[in-house]
Amino acid sequence: MGMDLSTLRTLISRYCVGEENWVDSRTIYIGHKEPPPGTEAFIQQRFPDNRIVSSKYTFWNFIPKNMFEQFRRVANFYFLIIFLVQLIIDTPTSPITSGLPLIFVITVTAIKQGYEDWLRHKADNAVNQCPVQVVEHGKVICKQSHKLRVGDVVLVKEDESFPCDLILLSSSRDDGTCYVTTASLDGESSHKTYYAVQDTKAYTTEKEVDSIHGTIECEQPQPDLYKFVGRINIYMDNEPVARPLGSENLLLRGATLKNTEYIYAAVIYTGMETKMALNYQSKSQKRSAVEKSMNAYLVVYLCILISKALINTLLKYVWQADPNRDEPWYNQRTEAERQRHIVIRAFTDFLAFMVLFNYIIPVSMYVTVEMQKFLGSYFIMWDDEMMDEELGERAMVNTSDLNEELGQVEYVFTDKTGTLTENNMEFIECCVDGHVYVPNVICNGQVMPGAAGMDMIDTSPGPEAKEREELFFRALCLCHTVQVKEEETVDGIKHGIHQGKSSSLYISSSPDEVALVEGMKRLGFTYLRLKDSHMEILNREDEIEKFELLEVLTFDSVRRRMSVIVRSGSGEFYLFCKGADSSIFPRCVAGKVDQVRSRVEHNAVEGLRTLCVAYKPLIPEQYQELCHLLNGAKLALQDRDKRLAEAYDLIEKDLILLGATAVEDRLQEKAADTIESLHKAGMKVWVLTGDKMETASATCYASKLFHRNTQILELTTKRTEEQSLHDVLFDLSRTILRQHGGMTRDSFSGLSGDCTDYGLIIDGATLSAVLRPSQEDSNSGNYKEIFLEICRNCSAVLCCRMAPLQKAQIVKLIKASKENPITLAIGDGANDVSMILEAHVGIGIMGKEGRQATRNSDYAIPKFKHLKKLLLVHGHYYYIRISELVQYFFYKNVCFIFPQFLYQFFCGFSQQPLYDTAYLTLYNISFTSLPILLYSLMEQHINMEILKKDPSLYRDIAKNSLLRWPIFIYWTILGVYDAIVLFFGAYFLFDNTTFTSNGQMFGNWTFGTLVFTVLVFTVTFKLALDTHYWTWINHFVIWGSLIFFVVFSLLWGGIIWPFLNYQRMYYVFMQMLSSGPAWLSIILLITASLLPDVVKKVIWRALWPTTTERIQHFAFLMTFLHLDMAAL
């Protein structure tokens, strides 16, 4: 009874709180079965389904949500306000003039965003609808992925990826293990072993699995990939058996089942609650630096606008103080107007001026920018040079908002595995006692001589040497933890994927080992299998040798070596040890240490991953002793790890060095070239990887991130264990600063070129220590600063052992540092998603590790090498294009509106527009829009090839250099100058004189039309002067829009338009053209307004040419030379 009450209470409290998250653990019923009665009553919790949502809108909320988001943009909101003001009060221009462009902008943007969201929906659907096999009522049923519920039991077959987070129940293997690669989650492509709970591992058919009766209790989802705590209760004979669950039982969504036929597993986290989904960061709108400066300019123009309106309002009332000016007899107010309060009148006047001048902030700029970005991104997608023939993929653009940001990148954060490297280890060479063996060719173990300058392999090696050589090969064949996959499970398709390489046969948690064993195979020693604890080797004479595997001293990162103890067929005991050079050499007592060491060092510099191999023959008594030692340590209940380490230390000594190996994680094609170009272009390249330090730094050397003369600074756990973090940091910064001081001295003496550059290596643990906000001392705040200071002075930084979110953290840290540099993150796996989302520009590589990165990126490219063209060419182009676009837009609107401002001084500040409504509306929409749009799509100030060849040109545009304030002010002044020339030119021509040859007079609309005509021609010619790359399209658009303007004006003034209530423009344009002086003054005014800009350009080019201009000139001369040659 009491229990019932408590149950009820729990029930009530749970449902009343209404929030399910308060439960910090969840209970899952495997197969949705009720627990047997009598146990503690569980309340079924509600969980989300397994749907992944990356889209922003649904069909229903698209319009309101999109409208809301669009009007949240300051510019759009401003235009909306202007439009509403025009609707409400009596303003000089009709609401159409601003309503039409605004509606156009909003619609275009909505269509674009809707389309992009539709693509996301499509991608989501593809994921959500992929089939999953679920066990229900003892049968396997196919379900769509999104219909999975917590508690379902799913069947996953080999090479399938897990649809959600699962607890392994059983596998096709007897021991209840399965192998999984989490490459797409954390970038580690090695196979990891996961375990089923003892009590469930026997249930290996769907019927049996269905009979499992149990519950799982586990924590609520959290993003840490490596942490999981839970408990499984199995009810057998109504007697619950509780077993602990840890991360070794948890299969994560996104990981792939390998080397295991099938598994059964229970669903615990679904959909957006999976660890993978929790590791995503929410998508935030990325804004480019150009957009930021655009907004800054906008604020300036807004201030100009408001002050213009204020000045005019003020002057209006000063001027009107005389009632005969305010209301002369010929121009009376209506009674209603007269009655209005002076304050209201002043305010409406202010608003009317605002409306009159509002065109100075161009609505159409936003449309043009959007269109430029959207259309411009097609050039990236179309680019043949960024297409990978092998994959058949070309670059993809997911967000076109950031095209120009590609030209502004200062920091590149790159993933290693799969991005810089192919994620494909290859055995390069081995060195036995100084003899180098290179298995260049796969064919029957042919031994090739090594690199020149090294000892050539003895063509007739002495018997002793030969013996040692074979011992070395055997050592490599034996000293590993590689598993062999049975032949029959390897089908043809799989062979195809790996291009027929036999690599698919060996499986190991370390790809290096696979490479080594494979390399041995090529040198004639083939590891066959491990059978009944006997390792079988096929030697060069095609004989099978058997070694009994006695002990494996597994690898760990502290010792950095591993050993095996084997007994050969002839009964001899051997200890084989392989490991990093630093951990092997000190333990060797014999062997040609010096020769091997020199070779190892040579290889390390080449960027190869080296391992040393040593051995020690054991006599049976020694073996017994070791055995005893090991077993004692293994069985220890306390300090087991410590005692094991001690035992290993005792065993692995007095070794005889055999030789060394070199393995290469093949770099992606042209990765080094790309990184060098990025360096030359002034970018800092950081490698962020989950991999271990040695591997990562080897890659960094190979990819020329670190050079031979780069001084490496280490900030790793190893070092911080010896010294406190504080000291290490200060040490490093002192080193750097000393160099820095030296550098300034150098630069004084003009020798700044040959200063050493620094490379920093930091690992995840240290990084989190650096970044950890600490409460007690204020010093830690400095750590960040010091760290940043160090980083700033390093040309390359390597961060290893990084968790996905840490990658994002470091990107964020750099982003927030005081220079606010533009960052770019590039990666291929799901572990890179968070940094891709965090960086200003996120780039996905279409690699082997799934599509996560690609989907979340802003741009996706097939290979790392394509980054070069993407940044140096496309980025550069888009940046100069859009910066001209932005500046030009403000310029042409100053030219447009300033005469209108000046006109107020001559019309009694009455807000009389200078131009006709049609001209006001169409100026930005059609007369001057296409030339700049096409310019901003087509312009190439420098040839593509030169941009690629000379990456330092990228520095020319760094730090948003084309949108700096001086340049902006120059454009604005130019605009004001042009406006003054236009207005006063027309003014003096019109002033109190006749303009025609028949004595008839022109009116105010002709005056406006004359100004407008000159204006349209001037701004178009100004663009023509700026255009450096004249394709037929540019010609067509520039001359075409001028012709369009003339034709439109003729038409607009040629007819009495029945739907208009005024005919002010009737015949005005034609009448103007029929007057000779008008033609002459148009030509004069255009010339006069273009003159200063041309002169400025020419003089600047002659006296202070920029690099760009020099190269343009050079290219220009080259074409002439070329022509001359051709003519000859």
- Is 634 annotated to bind a ligand? Reply is no
Binding other proteins by CB under 8 A: which of 605, 1001, 1050, 1123? 1001
Give the rounded distance of the alpha carbon of 752 from its chain centre. Answer: 33
CA–CA distance, 565 with 577 (Å, rounded to integer):
9
Applying the rule CB under 8 A, the residues between 352 and 381 that interact with other proteins are: 377-379, 381
CA–CA distance, 932 with 892 (Å, rounded to integer):
11
CA–CA distance, 742 with 755 (Å, rounded to integer):
8
Window of 229-237, 509-517, 674-682, 906-914 that interacts with other proteins by CB under 8 A? 906-914
179 vs 877, which CB is nearer to other proteins?
A: 877
Q: Which CA distances in Å does 144 have to 50, 125, 129, 162, 530?
A: 9, 10, 5, 13, 40
DSSP 849: S
**Shortest distance in whole angstroms from residue 1064 CB to other proteins:** 7
- Is 858 annotated to bind a ligand? Reply is no
Window of 585-593, 686-694, 767-775, 1032-1040 that interacts with other proteins by CB under 8 A? 1032-1040
688 vs 981, which CB is nearer to other proteins?
A: 981
CA–CA distance, 433 with 436 (Å, rounded to integer):
8
Which among 850, 844, 847 has a CA at the least distance from the CA of 867?
Answer: 844
Three-class DSSP category at 932? helix
**Shortest distance in whole angstroms from residue 376 CB to other proteins:** 10
The DSSP H or E segment spanning 546 is strand 544-556
Binding-site size, other proteins (CB under 8 A): 112
Binding other proteins by CB under 8 A: which of 245, 397, 514, 760? 397
240: CB partners within 8 A, 6+ apart: 39, 233, 234
Applying the rule CB under 8 A, the residues between 968 and 997 that interact with other proteins are: 985, 987-997
**Shortest distance in whole angstroms from residue 1078 CB to other proteins:** 9
**Shortest distance in whole angstroms from residue 389 CB to other proteins:** 7
Residue 127 interacting with other proteins (CB under 8 A): yes
- Is 807 annotated to bind a ligand? Reply is yes
- Is 689 annotated to bind a ligand? Reply is yes
Binding other proteins by CB under 8 A: which of 855, 869, 876, 1022? 855
**Shortest distance in whole angstroms from residue 419 CB to other proteins:** 18
- Is 416 annotated to bind a ligand? Reply is yes
Contact 855, 870 (CB under 8 A): no
CA–CA distance, 827 with 162 (Å, rounded to integer):
22
Binding other proteins by CB under 8 A: which of 910, 917, 926, 961? 910
**Shortest distance in whole angstroms from residue 1047 CB to other proteins:** 18
- Is 417 annotated to bind a ligand? Reply is yes
Residue in this structure with the two tokens 């060719």, named with its chain if needed: 441
Which among 277, 197, 278, 269 has a CA at the least distance from the CA of 28?
Answer: 269
Binding other proteins by CB under 8 A: which of 61, 440, 774, 1031? 1031
Residue 325 interacting with other proteins (CB under 8 A): yes
CA–CA distance, 911 with 947 (Å, rounded to integer):
50
Three-class DSSP category at 561? strand
Helices (H), 816-928: 833-838, 852-856, 866-868, 876-904, 917-922
Active site residue 415: yes
Cβ neighbours around 709 below 10 Å, total: 8
Binding other proteins by CB under 8 A: which of 107, 446, 631, 1000? 1000
226 vs 988, which CB is nearer to other proteins?
A: 988
333 vs 718, which CB is nearer to other proteins?
A: 333
Residue 547's identity, in one-letter code, is F
Window of 171-179, 391-399, 563-571, 958-966 that interacts with other proteins by CB under 8 A? 391-399
- Is 539 annotated to bind a ligand? Reply is no
**Shortest distance in whole angstroms from residue 958 CB to other proteins:** 20
CA–CA distance, 76 with 73 (Å, rounded to integer):
5
Q: What would the x/- binding string for other proteins be over residues 915 to 944, using CB under 8 A?
A: -----------------------x-x---x
Contact 419, 675 (CB under 8 A): no
Residue 880 interacting with other proteins (CB under 8 A): no
Which among 925, 930, 896 has a CA at the least distance from the CA of 913?
Answer: 896
CA–CA distance, 723 with 208 (Å, rounded to integer):
57
Window of 450-458, 482-490, 559-567, 1101-1109 that interacts with other proteins by CB under 8 A? 1101-1109
Residue 1101 interacting with other proteins (CB under 8 A): yes
Contact 822, 840 (CB under 8 A): yes
718 vs 1096, which CB is nearer to other proteins?
A: 1096
The full length of the chain comes to 1128
Side-chain half-sphere CA neighbours of 845 within 13 A: 31
Three-class DSSP category at 259? coil
Binding other proteins by CB under 8 A: which of 149, 1028, 1044, 1046? 1028
- Is 905 annotated to bind a ligand? Reply is no
Applying the rule CB under 8 A, the residues between 678 and 707 that interact with other proteins are: none
Binding other proteins by CB under 8 A: which of 723, 774, 1087, 1106? 1087
141 vs 1025, which CB is nearer to other proteins?
A: 1025
Q: What is the DSSP string of 470-495?
A: HHHHHHHHHSS--EE--GGG--HHHH
**Shortest distance in whole angstroms from residue 1066 CB to other proteins:** 5
Binding other proteins by CB under 8 A: which of 11, 967, 973, 1099? 1099
658 vs 1014, which CB is nearer to other proteins?
A: 1014
Q: Which CA distances in Å does 6 have to 240, 312, 647?
A: 22, 77, 55
Residue 340 interacting with other proteins (CB under 8 A): no
**Shortest distance in whole angstroms from residue 854 CB to other proteins:** 6
Cβ neighbours around 357 below 10 Å, total: 25
DSSP 407: G
Binding other proteins by CB under 8 A: which of 21, 282, 334, 339? 334
Cβ neighbours around 643 below 10 Å, total: 17
Binding other proteins by CB under 8 A: which of 36, 244, 328, 620? 328
CA–CA distance, 194 with 264 (Å, rounded to integer):
12
CA–CA distance, 1102 with 1096 (Å, rounded to integer):
10
Binding other proteins by CB under 8 A: which of 212, 396, 633, 672? 396
Query: Counting Cβ atoms within 10 Å, is residue 118 exposed (0-12), middle (13-18) or buried (19+)?
Result: middle
Residue 53 interacting with other proteins (CB under 8 A): no
Applying the rule CB under 8 A, the residues between 74 and 103 that interact with other proteins are: 92
Window of 122-130, 686-694, 967-975, 1039-1047 that interacts with other proteins by CB under 8 A? 122-130
DSSP 438: B
Cβ neighbours around 347 below 10 Å, total: 13
Binding other proteins by CB under 8 A: which of 965, 1036, 1039, 1114? 1114
Query: Counting Cβ atoms within 10 Å, is residue 1062 exposed (0-12), middle (13-18) or buried (19+)?
Result: exposed
Binding other proteins by CB under 8 A: which of 318, 650, 1094, 1123? 1094
Residue 339 interacting with other proteins (CB under 8 A): no
Applying the rule CB under 8 A, the residues between 1049 and 1068 that interact with other proteins are: 1056, 1060-1064, 1066-1067
- Which one from 152, 199, 349, 415 is the annotated catalytic residue? 415
- Is 868 annotated to bind a ligand? Reply is no
Side-chain half-sphere CA neighbours of 237 within 13 A: 0
Q: Which residue numbers are catalytic?
A: 415
The binding site for Mg(2+) consists of: 415, 417, 828, 832
The binding site consists of: 415-417, 513, 555, 578, 609, 689-691, 801, 807, 828, 831-832
The binding site for ATP consists of: 415-417, 513, 555, 578, 609, 689-691, 801, 807, 831-832
